Amino acid sequence: MSRLRPSRTDRKAGRGQEQGTDVAGLEQTRATIEAAATMAAKFQDGVWERAAARGPAPRPAPAASPPPHTHQPSVQQTPGRTPTGGVA
């Protein structure tokens, strides 16, 4: 069985339909993205409004300096030796 090939005119008509569909698809995509951007902007505006209504955020307290290193009383030093094991 042999299949009939579409004529040149038929192929051009099919291509025109594809391009029309592509344009419609692009337009729908553009409209969807635009709607999403509008929703995001409204959401962000709401976030800013709520933040402004609460007032300025509290500042974190400055980090305290660590306590000085102290000798632990449970560890006993051997007389005449340094903590690393060398001779004093």
Is residue 2 assigned to a domain? no
Is residue 22 assigned to a domain? yes
How many angstroms separate the first and last alpha carbons of the chain? 103
Residue tagged 């509008």 (tokens)? 38
Q: What are the backbone dihedrals phi and psi of residue 87, each rounded to the nearest 5 degrees, phi first?
A: -85, 135
Range of the domain at 49: 7-55
Q: Which helix (H) or strand (E) holds 84?
A: none
pLDDT digits (tens, 9 = 90+) for 42-82: 999 999 898 888 887 777 777 777 666 666 666 566 666 66
pLDDT digits (tens, 9 = 90+) for 1-30: 556 666 666 656 555 566 677 899 999 999
Is residue 46 assigned to a domain? yes
Is residue 63 assigned to a domain? no
- Domain count along the chain: 1
pLDDT digits (tens, 9 = 90+) for 28-42: 999 999 999 999 999
